[in-house]
Amino acid sequence: MTALLVAVALSGFAGAVGGLLARARARVVVVAFFTIAASLAALTVALDVLRTGKVATLTTTQVLPFTGVQLRLDALGALFVAVTAVVATAVSIYSVGYSRHHPMSRSSACAFATFVTSMLLVPAAWSVTTFLFAWELMAVASLALVLTDYRRSADVRSAAIWYAVLTQIGATTIAFGLVVLAVKTGGQGFTTMALHSASMAPWLRGAVFLLALTGFASKAGVVPLHVWLPKAHAEAPSAVSALMSAAMVNLGIYGILRVGDTLLGGGPSWWWITVIMLGVGSAIYGSIHAATSTDLKRLLAYSTADNIGLVMIAIGTAGLLSSTGHQSFAALALFAGMFHLVNHAVFKGTLFLAAGSVQYATGTRDLDQLGGLFTRMPIASTIFAFGTVAITALPPLCGFVSEWLLLQSLLHGLSSSVSVSVVLMPLCVAALALTGGLTAAAFVKAFGVGFLGIARSPAAEGASEPPRLMNVGAGVLASLCVVLGVAPIAMVGLLNSVVRTIQTSGGSIVSSHGEALAISDAKGVFDPTLIALALVTSLLCVAGVRRVLSRRHAIRRAPAWGCGRELQTARMTYTATSFAEPLQRVFDDVLQPSQDLDVSHRGESRYFVESVRFGTRGGDAFERLLYQPVFSTVRRLANKARLLQNGSVHRYLAYGLGALVVILVFAR
């Protein structure tokens, strides 16, 4: 297994170097080859670790000076490595197709391989320096990838700056927290830190956890540190958005679990209540924005904040229940959270790649400009449809299973008779319900307006199927949505070994019962396979009945959403803006959209309107209310500082003289 870990690092390095050296045409193939090689090697190690429970280790002093590199992959890390490896493989295939018309530049080829490799190594890092090295490498490489299209518009550059600032603030707080922990425990290896952290003062442990939580939450895109997410995900190339949203964001969750549970060994309930509150806020805020966004990729990005919020709720609940002594329910919550994280990676990867295909075919990601894509690009649209069904948690795809398990764990938490959870759990259940509804609205809008109906612009009119490899890459993930939804028992063993690394006494809360899932301490089983079978059967029945009935009556075909009208133009159909308008009205206080209505009149008369223009722009309330004041304060202070530093040599010399006199007088 150690050899395979070396193979991951080496083939990642080879991919980065190959991306730099290869000629333009071969570049993407070289990078994809080595990235897939690294991913498959990592997947092999990770699956082995998850199955056997043995850890894979690698320690060398050859790479980093002074401290060396320490890798140790346990089951928790292995899950994240496996997810990253699967997503990276699909994205690499997709990228080969994508680069047929958008050749990959030298720097992005190098950054792509580096990004994937560093994401594969972060969960395996077992010392502070190794971890921070891989973490920073990941941040820098992803930043370079966000900047891929920097020439296209200033938005790209602004998104990259937002991302860089927030991710660096996060990295700083993580580094600070880990360094404090390392100093107090007397070693920078994770094993030493885990052994000695219990003897630290409680307030110091809390401080370390909060520092790490801040940093990892900013990477995970948790509200209010999510501001970079919709910007960077929307402006980066879709393959990169898919990697960031389906793999990188997860590592924030990994960090919270690693520091909170492994290194600090769990903590008091207020830690986990904080995590739950962040999760609730993130889930609701993200889903409201997703429901009202009209930019397809922004919508997906906000939905990432929403899903990560759900995972945060799950791990927070697990921590809370575990700190109040309900180990088995804690294990269930953790199981549900990890399962949802895997599912989110799969369906969000699918959706981002399919959205990339749409952007590739039409050149726009504005839902108001799309429409009618289903008949023009059926395969890519079907893939998007699979992602849509999965993310709205409809059976028989994967989102349903994990959200159902999450709901179960929250309801079980209710019965735990601890006052905190009695108050919190209904809140979480409500958040889950609201989020589910809003997500459904968001994706009905995305699919109904974007893919069905009439094309609303010449760009959508002229769309055609993207290159085959793009569909293959996205299809790999889409088929995983089906597999995980229909046969979740495949994941039970793997997820149980993850849960056991954290909830050692929880045991295997979820077990396979035939093809169904059985939860110990609860009656009955949960059988997604049967549900899927029932759904398919009933669909076949409906189709059969329709066929029988249609023999007797003539079929009349009319355009969709036509309300029976004869003539229907694109201007008469629902747009994404109009679809989301009621929701925007309901959540006006949260969204605070800026609207402008521009009416021009014909001639002198006020009664004859020539044209009306209505525009609405949804900003981010946090950006305006939390970040802008900070910026303006910093700018004001910086302007004050200009009084000190105004370029006059005499003033600088006077500082020197003043300092000299002061020293002479006071430091005799």
Partner 1 sequence: MTNHSVAAALLALTSGTVLLCAALALWRRAARGIVSALRVQGYALAATAAVLGVQLHEPLLLVTSGLLVAVKGVAIPMLFGRLVRLDPASSETDPVVNVPASLVAAVVLTLVAFVATRPIVESVRGVPITLVPFGFATVLIGFFVLVARRKAVSQMVGLLLVDNGIGLVALLLTTGVPLLIELGGTLDVLLVVVVLRVLVTRMHAQLGVLDLDSLQELRD
Which residues would be at the binding site for partner 1 (CB under 8 A)? 645-650, 653-654, 656-657, 660-661, 664-665, 668
DSSP codes, 277-306? HHHHHHHHHHHHHHHH--BHHHHHHHHHHH
In the complex, minimum distance from the CB of residue 666 to partner 1, in angstroms, rounded to a whole number: 10
Complex with partner 1: residue 26 or 659, whichever CB lies closer:
659
Residue 596 contacts by C-beta under 8 Å, 6 or more apart in sequence?
Answer: 613, 614, 615, 616
Rounded Cα distance between 199 and 608, Å, is 79
Rounded Cα distance between 50 and 250, Å, is 18
In the complex, minimum distance from the CB of residue 241 to partner 1, in angstroms, rounded to a whole number: 33
In the complex, minimum distance from the CB of residue 380 to partner 1, in angstroms, rounded to a whole number: 46
Complex with partner 1: residue 554 or 667, whichever CB lies closer:
667
Tokens matching residue 255 = 């960090």
Complex with partner 1: residue 549 or 664, whichever CB lies closer:
664
DSSP 59: E
Closest by CA to 374, choosing from 251, 496, 465, is: 465
In the complex, minimum distance from the CB of residue 659 to partner 1, in angstroms, rounded to a whole number: 10
Residue 146 contacts by C-beta under 8 Å, 6 or more apart in sequence?
Answer: 156, 159, 160, 163, 232, 235, 236, 240
Cis check for the bond before 458: say yes or no (omega within 30 of 0): no
Look at the alpha carbons of 468, 469, 470, 474 in this order and tell me if their dihedral is positive or negative. Answer: positive
Rounded Cα distance between 341 and 333, Å, is 12
Amino acid at position 294, single letter: T
Tokens matching residue 244 = 């960031």
Complex with partner 1: residue 535 or 653, whichever CB lies closer:
653
- Three-state DSSP state, 415: coil
Edge-to-edge order in the sheet of strand 516-519: 510-513, 516-519, 525-526
In the complex, minimum distance from the CB of residue 664 to partner 1, in angstroms, rounded to a whole number: 4
* Run of H or E residues at 596: strand 594-601
In the complex, minimum distance from the CB of residue 656 to partner 1, in angstroms, rounded to a whole number: 7
Closest by CA to 425, choosing from 302, 269, 287, 216, is: 269
In the complex, minimum distance from the CB of residue 652 to partner 1, in angstroms, rounded to a whole number: 9
In the complex, minimum distance from the CB of residue 645 to partner 1, in angstroms, rounded to a whole number: 8
Q: Give per-residue burial for 280-292: e unless 16+ CB within 10 Å, then b.
A: bbbbbbbbbbbbb
In the complex, minimum distance from the CB of residue 638 to partner 1, in angstroms, rounded to a whole number: 13
Complex with partner 1: residue 567 or 657, whichever CB lies closer:
657
In the complex, minimum distance from the CB of residue 155 to partner 1, in angstroms, rounded to a whole number: 23
Complex with partner 1: residue 417 or 646, whichever CB lies closer:
646
Q: Half-sphere exposure of 178 toward its Cβ, with a 13 Å CA cutoff?
A: 25
Answer whether 26's CB lies under 8 Å from 33's CB: no
Complex with partner 1: residue 608 or 666, whichever CB lies closer:
666
**Planar angle of CA 86, 482, 52, nearest 5 degrees:** 50
In the complex, minimum distance from the CB of residue 162 to partner 1, in angstroms, rounded to a whole number: 22
Complex with partner 1: residue 637 or 649, whichever CB lies closer:
649
3-state secondary structure 236-271: CCHHHHHHHHHHHHHHHHHHHHHHHHHHCCCCCHHH
Complex with partner 1: residue 539 or 653, whichever CB lies closer:
653
Complex with partner 1: residue 634 or 654, whichever CB lies closer:
654
Complex with partner 1: residue 617 or 642, whichever CB lies closer:
642
Complex with partner 1: residue 600 or 648, whichever CB lies closer:
648
In the complex, minimum distance from the CB of residue 150 to partner 1, in angstroms, rounded to a whole number: 20
Closest by CA to 138, choosing from 161, 99, 111, is: 111
In the complex, minimum distance from the CB of residue 466 to partner 1, in angstroms, rounded to a whole number: 44
Tokens matching residue 430 = 């409500």
Tokens matching residue 253 = 């969750």
In the complex, minimum distance from the CB of residue 657 to partner 1, in angstroms, rounded to a whole number: 5
* Run of H or E residues at 662: helix 649-666
For the chain, the straight-line distance linking the first and the last C-alpha, in angstroms and rounded, comes to 66
Pairing between strand 525-526 and 594-601? unpaired
Tokens matching residue 239 = 């393959």
In the complex, minimum distance from the CB of residue 630 to partner 1, in angstroms, rounded to a whole number: 23
Complex with partner 1: residue 325 or 647, whichever CB lies closer:
647
Complex with partner 1: residue 549 or 665, whichever CB lies closer:
665
Q: How many CB atoms lie within 10 A of CB 68?
A: 14
In the complex, minimum distance from the CB of residue 651 to partner 1, in angstroms, rounded to a whole number: 8
Rounded Cα distance between 213 and 207, Å, is 10
In the complex, minimum distance from the CB of residue 154 to partner 1, in angstroms, rounded to a whole number: 19
Tokens matching residue 281 = 């806020």
Complex with partner 1: residue 543 or 653, whichever CB lies closer:
653
List, in sequence order, every beta strand (DSSP E) within 87-246: none
Rounded Cα distance between 191 and 194, Å, is 5
Complex with partner 1: residue 65 or 647, whichever CB lies closer:
647
Residue 51 contacts by C-beta under 8 Å, 6 or more apart in sequence?
Answer: 493, 494, 497
Complex with partner 1: residue 614 or 652, whichever CB lies closer:
652
